[in-house]
């Protein structure tokens, strides 16, 4: 059951090595609206990318 105005936030982060190159991705969905964001760093960790994905997604909801 979908509630009107519900925002769905999907996130993921990954790194190759610890530390190593890594990236994060976000998909926000609200009804028919969809926003995608991503980024990366040359030297990072998996945990940093996972957390940054959530932070960036929550920041984007502040529209």
Which domains are assigned to the chain? 8-61 (3.30.420.10)
Query: How many whole angstroms separate alpha carbon 22 and alpha carbon 32?
Result: 30
Q: Could you give the angle at the alpha carbon of 35 between the alpha carbons of 9 and 22, nearest 5°?
A: 70
Cα-based distances in Å from 40 to 6, 29, 50, 55:
28, 22, 11, 14
pLDDT given at position 5:
83
* Percentage of the residues of the chain whose pLDDT score is greater than 90: 87
Query: How many whole angstroms separate alpha carbon 53 and alpha carbon 4?
Result: 25
What does the pLDDT look like over 4-33, one tens digit per residue? 789 999 999 999 998 999 999 999 999 999
What number is the average pLDDT over the span 40-47?
A: 98
Query: How many whole angstroms separate alpha carbon 51 and alpha carbon 57?
Result: 10
Query: pTM of the entire structure?
Result: 0.89
């Amino acid at each position: 059951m979908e509630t009107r105005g519900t925002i769905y936030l999907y996130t993921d982060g990954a790194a190759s090595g610890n530390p190593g190159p890594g990236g994060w991705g976000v998909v926000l969905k609200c009804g028919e609206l969809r926003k995608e964001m991503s980024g990366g760093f040359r030297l990072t960790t998996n945990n940093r990318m996972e957390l940054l994905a959530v932070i960036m997604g929550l920041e984007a909801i502040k529209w």
